[in-house]
Structure 1
C-alpha cells in the first residue's frame, strides 16, 4: 500500500517569499526514504522558495560541466532524492523557486522514482535577455534602448552595466558580471529564429543611463544607426558550475509533466543511469516574463547510460546549446604497462571525476584517427574516481582486462565502455528557438527518432557525431531510424552524419544502418542529408520543399551501400533532388 505524505506537514509554507522551504523539503524526503513500501510525497499548489543556505550539498562530478575544477566540487541541490526506492513526487500547481545557484533536483542511487507535475524556476536567471526596444541616431550619435526582464538585477556603473544575482545569507551576491558577459546568442522573435553571433551592445559606448525601471539607454561614439530593433541579446558566463537537474547512478526514473522555466549551469543530466524517461515536459521561459532563455546550456543530456533513454511529448524552447544529447565518453589511452593493463585519461576539461567501468563490462578500443575498432575485452579490475569525492585522481583511470591486448596502444587509441550504451526513443517533441542542434545522438544500440518537429534550428536538426579528438563523445550508430519528422528551415543540414574521423578507412565506415523515411523537409539552401563515412543509408518516401538558394539536397562523403529514392512522385515538391557524391558508392 502506498504511504501518502504532504510536504506542508513538515513545515513548508507555499506563498511565503522569504520563508526558506529547503529544511521542510529535506525533512519530508527523509521521511519518505525511511517509510516502508511505496511513497507518494505531495506538494500542494503554490510557490515554494528554496535558498541555498538550507539546501542539501554534495560533492559531485558531472559530465560536460566543470570537470575536476576544485572551485565547483560541491553542488547545492534544492530537491534531493538519495538512496530511495519506489517514490513519487507529485505537485500539479506547485512551483519551486530557486534562489542563488542550485541544481533544481537530483535523483541519486535510487530506483523506481517519478517526479511529476512540478514547476521549477529561478528567482534571478543567470542569463540576461536584453531586448532592443528602441534604436536610432540623435545629435550625430547612435543609441539603443534595451529592455531587460523584471527578474534581472543590475546596476549602471559609469559606462558599464553590472549584472548580478541576489544577496545571499553570507552577504555576497550569488553571481555577477559586466556588459556582454562571456557568451551571447541572438533571438529574433519575428522570425522565430535563434543563433550564435557577436554582441554589439557594448561596443564604443559613450554613456549608459537608466530611463525607466527596466529600460537602459546606451549612447555610442559612432553615428551608424543600429539595425537590430526588436532582437533579443541573451548573455551569460560560460561556467557550467551545476547541472540543472541530475539523475545519477539510478534506475527506472521518470520525469513527467514538469515545467522547467530555467535551468542554471547545464541541463537535466542523466549520468550512468538505466531506463530514464522524460515525457510531457515543458522547457520554456514563463509567458509574459520578458524572458526568452529557459536554459544556460543544453536541456537534456544522457551520458554513459544504459537500458532505454526515452524523451517524448516535450517542448524544447530557448536553450543556450543543444536540446537533447545522448552519448558516451571516450577515454584517451595514455599508457600500457602490460598487455592486460591500460592507463586512461579524461581528456576534455569539462568532463572528469566519475567512474566509467564496473567489473564484467565490455570495452572497445578504437583508432582515434579512423574511429575503427581495433580490440575489445572485458573489465577484470579497475582503479578510478568515485564521482563523489576527490580522494582519488580525478582524471586518470587504470583498467585491467581479461585477455591480452595488442601492444603499443598508448597515444593513438581511445576506450569506450560499450555496455553503458542505451537504446533511444525520441518521439513527438517540438524543438523551437534552438541556436545549435535539436538532437545529438551517438549510441550503437537501436535509435528511433520519430514524429518530432524541428523549427529553424540554428544548425542541424539531427546531428550524429562520434569524436575522439575534441569533445570525446562516443560512439558509432549501428541502427538509426529517422521517421515521420518535420524539419522546418534548419540552419544546417537537416540530418548531419558527421563522425570526426581525421582519416577515412573505406573498408571500415564509422556509422551503419541509417533509415530516413516519411519525413518532411522544408529547406532554405541546405541539404536534407549530409553524411560521411556511413554504410547502409536508406532515404525513402520523404517530402522535400525547396526555398531560397539552390544547392544539393544530399551530400555524401566516403559512404557505401547508399540507397536514395529521388524519383518524381506526388509527394515530391519540385524536380528530382540533386545529389553530390564525394567518394561515395550508391547501390
Structure 2
C-alpha cells in the first residue's frame, strides 16, 4: 500500500480549486503501465467535479489492474470489461490532453463515462501497441485447389501457427478461433480494394512456406487478387470487445482534437445519452503506420441519443464498419399481460441489456403489416428489467386492442437532431453514414468516398432492429468521389428499409429527404436508389462519370425509384459518355416530377411493373 501511495504522489499533483473542482496534473512516470495510478486518482477524488491535465508524452496502459465490471455495450459483445478511465456519476469531467498519446495493451476499454454530465475531452490520441487484427500481402491464388499464399506482416502484429492452425492476437488471453471477417485492401492507397466482397474465412489448414509466407487452405466464394493486402479481424460476435469511448446515460459531452488510431470495437459510442459533439478529430491510422485498420467497427455510433449530436471537421478512415450510424431501437412485443402492461424482447444478440425505456419516456408503436409509427403514443409508468433479453413495461393508458405479439415499440423521447459538417470519410468498409433519426438531420460540406453506399437509410424491423423512419433530412454541398465500389451492389445514396415478411413492402417509410447541390464524381452509374420514400427531392447536383476505375455494376439507372411518392428530380447535370435513364416502378411513375435535367431522361421502357 505504501508503494502505491508513493507512486501516486510522484506522478500526480492534486489541487482543489475555490470552485470545488479537483484538478489532477498527470506526468509520465517512466513505467510501461499507468493504469493503477490513474484508477487510484479517479477513485480517490473528493469532488464530483474533476479535471485531468496531461503533460505531453506517451502513456501506457495494461489491463492487469484496470477497473473491471460487467458491461452491456450496444453493438458489441457484452461481458466483463477492463476500463482504464472509469468515470461514474461525476457532475463535471474535464480532460486536457495537451497532445498526450495514450497507448493501450490487450483487452481494454480506454474510457467510459456513465451517468456523467458536462464532459470535455481535448487534444489526445488513443492507440494500441499491438492491434487485434492481422494482415498480409496476397502473393498467389489457386482457386481450383482452394489455397492462397500470403506474406504476413509481422512488424507490430501478433499471431502464431501451430500444427496447421493459426491463432491471433494471443494477447491477454485472447485467441480467435478462426480468421473470421476478411477483407482486401489496395496495397498503395490502403482503401478497400475495388470490387471487394466481405468474407467469413475459416482456414482448413495454414502451412508455413518460407520466412513470413504462409499458404492458407480454405474455400472462399470470392478469392482476393494477387497484390492486394488482406486483413483478418476474427469471428463475428467475438471481434467487438469495446469502444475507445463509451458514453452511457450521460449528458453534455464535447470531444475536440481527439483521435482514435485503433480500437477493439467502435471509436466513439454513445447510448441513451444527451448532447454529444465531436470536432477537429477523428478515427484513422497513425501517420507512418503499416496498419490497414483503425477501429474494428464504426468510427462513431449514436444509439437512442437525444438533444443534439454534432460531428464536424473530422476525419474517418480505415474502419471496418460505418463512419457513423444514428438510430433508435425497436423492441418486439413478446407477451401482453393486461391492457396496460407488456413484456418486450430485445431481438439482436448485440442489443441484449440495452436500456430501452424508463419511466416518463414516450413510445410509438408499430402495428403489422404497416411499418409506420402510429400517431398515438403512450408514456412509460414502469420499466422492470427481467434479464438482458426481456423487459416488462407499464403504460399510462390502455394499448389499442389490435396490438399483437410481434408488433414493435420505438422510443420517441430518445432521438437526436444530427449534424455532420466538414468531415472526410474514406478508405473504410461499409457505409460512410447511416441515418435513422426522425428529427432534423443536416449533412453538408463533407467529402465522401465509400466501399458501400456513401449515405444509407435503413430502418430495420428485423435482424438488427434499428429504428427508424427519417422525416427531415437535408444533404447539401457535399463531394462524393468513387463511391459504392464493393462487390455488393449499392448506390451513392441508397434508401432501403429492411422490413420483415409480415410487413407491407409497398408502404412508404422514410420521408422528406432533400439531396441538393452536391458534386458526384464516380465510376459507376447508380447515384440514387430509393425504396418506400414519401418526399424525395434531387435537385441541382453535378454528376460526372469518370473512367478511373472499371464499373462494378454497369448499365444501371442513374436514379431508381420503387414504391415512392412525391419525387422531384430537377436541374441536375450529368457529364458522361452517354445519357442516363431514370427507372421507376409503375406506382412511383405517377408520383414523379422531372424538370430541366441535362442528359438525364425517363424513357418509356424504364417504367417497370
TM over 0.5: yes
Q: Is the 8 A contact 1:357 1:379 kept in 2?
A: no
Which residues of 2 match residues 178-193 of structure 1 at below 5 A?
181-190=179-188, 192-193=190-191
Q: Answer with 320-329 or 350-359: which moved more.
A: 350-359
Q: What does residue 517 of structure 1 align with?
A: 516
Q: How many residues align?
A: 549
Unaligned runs of 5+ in 2: 1-17, 485-489, 594-609
Q: Aligned match of 1:58 in 64, 69, 91?
A: 69
Q: In the TM superposition, what is the alpha-carbon distance from 1:86 to its structure 2 partner?
A: 2.4
Cα deviation, 1:186-235, whole Å, max 9, x if unaligned, reads: 11133653144348895675x30452xxx33438799xx98412423333
Relative to structure 1, the CA distance from residue 564 to residue 109 in structure 2 (aligned partners, 3 Å threshold; closer, same or farther) is same
Counterparts of 1:428 and 1:249, CA distance in 2: 28
Q: Is the 8 A contact 1:377 1:403 kept in 2?
A: no
Q: What does residue 446 of structure 1 align with?
A: 440
| TM-score (norm: length of structure 2) | 0.84
Cα deviation, 1:429-472, whole Å, max 9, x if unaligned, reads: 111112110101101100001111112x1210011111111110
Q: What does residue 270 of structure 1 align with?
A: 270
**2:358 paired with 1:358:** yes
Q: In the TM superposition, what is the alpha-carbon distance from 1:100 to its structure 2 partner?
A: 1.5
Q: What does residue 197 of structure 1 align with?
A: 198
Q: What does residue 100 of structure 1 align with?
A: 106
Cα deviation, 1:295-314, whole Å, max 9, x if unaligned, reads: 12112110111001111111
Relative to structure 1, the CA distance from residue 469 to residue 565 in structure 2 (aligned partners, 3 Å threshold; closer, same or farther) is same
SS of the equivalent of 1:302 reads strand
Q: What does residue 169 of structure 1 align with?
A: none
Q: Is the 8 A contact 1:119 1:261 kept in 2?
A: yes
Which residues of 2 match residues 9-24 of structure 1 at below 5 A?
13-17=28-32, 20-24=33-37
SS of the equivalent of 2:120 reads strand
Counterparts of 1:198 and 1:252, CA distance in 2: 39
Q: What does residue 557 of structure 1 align with?
A: 562
SS of the equivalent of 1:189 reads coil
Q: Is the 8 A contact 1:150 1:289 kept in 2?
A: no
| TM-score (norm: length of structure 1) | 0.87
Relative to structure 1, the CA distance from residue 245 to residue 36 in structure 2 (aligned partners, 3 Å threshold; closer, same or farther) is closer
Q: What does residue 115 of structure 1 align with?
A: 121
Q: What does residue 42 of structure 2 align with?
A: 29
Counterparts of 1:227 and 1:446, CA distance in 2: 43
Counterparts of 1:110 and 1:562, CA distance in 2: 44
Aligned-pair Cα RMSD in Å:
2.8
Relative to structure 1, the CA distance from residue 103 to residue 510 in structure 2 (aligned partners, 3 Å threshold; closer, same or farther) is same
Q: In the TM superposition, what is the alpha-carbon distance from 1:251 to its structure 2 partner?
A: 0.4
Q: What does residue 40 of structure 1 align with?
A: 51
Counterparts of 1:77 and 1:505, CA distance in 2: 44
Q: Aligned match of 1:5 in 11, 23, 29?
A: 23
Counterparts of 1:235 and 1:356, CA distance in 2: 30
Cα deviation, 1:224-250, whole Å, max 9, x if unaligned, reads: x98412423333232123233201100
Relative to structure 1, the CA distance from residue 143 to residue 472 in structure 2 (aligned partners, 3 Å threshold; closer, same or farther) is closer
Relative to structure 1, the CA distance from residue 404 to residue 562 in structure 2 (aligned partners, 3 Å threshold; closer, same or farther) is same
Q: Which structure's relative contact order is higher, taking Cα pairs within 8 Å and 6+ residues apart? A: 1
Counterparts of 2:454 and 2:326, CA distance in 1: 14
Counterparts of 2:570 and 2:375, CA distance in 1: 37
Q: What does residue 383 of structure 1 align with?
A: 383
Cα deviation, 1:75-132, whole Å, max 9, x if unaligned, reads: 1111122211222101133111112111121111111111111111112211112233
Counterparts of 1:335 and 1:511, CA distance in 2: 29
SS of the equivalent of 2:583 reads strand
Q: Is the 8 A contact 1:164 1:174 kept in 2?
A: no
Q: In the TM superposition, what is the alpha-carbon distance from 1:65 to its structure 2 partner?
A: 1.6
Q: Answer with 89-98 or 528-537: which moved more.
A: 89-98
Deviating 4+ runs (over 6 angstroms)? 140-143, 219-222
Relative to structure 1, the CA distance from residue 261 to residue 340 in structure 2 (aligned partners, 3 Å threshold; closer, same or farther) is same
Q: Is the 8 A contact 1:149 1:290 kept in 2?
A: no
Q: What does residue 332 of structure 1 align with?
A: 332
Relative to structure 1, the CA distance from residue 368 to residue 327 in structure 2 (aligned partners, 3 Å threshold; closer, same or farther) is farther
Q: What does residue 471 of structure 1 align with?
A: 464
SS of the equivalent of 1:87 reads strand
**2:496 paired with 1:498:** yes
Q: Is the 8 A contact 1:332 1:345 kept in 2?
A: yes
Q: In the TM superposition, what is the alpha-carbon distance from 1:337 to its structure 2 partner?
A: 2.1
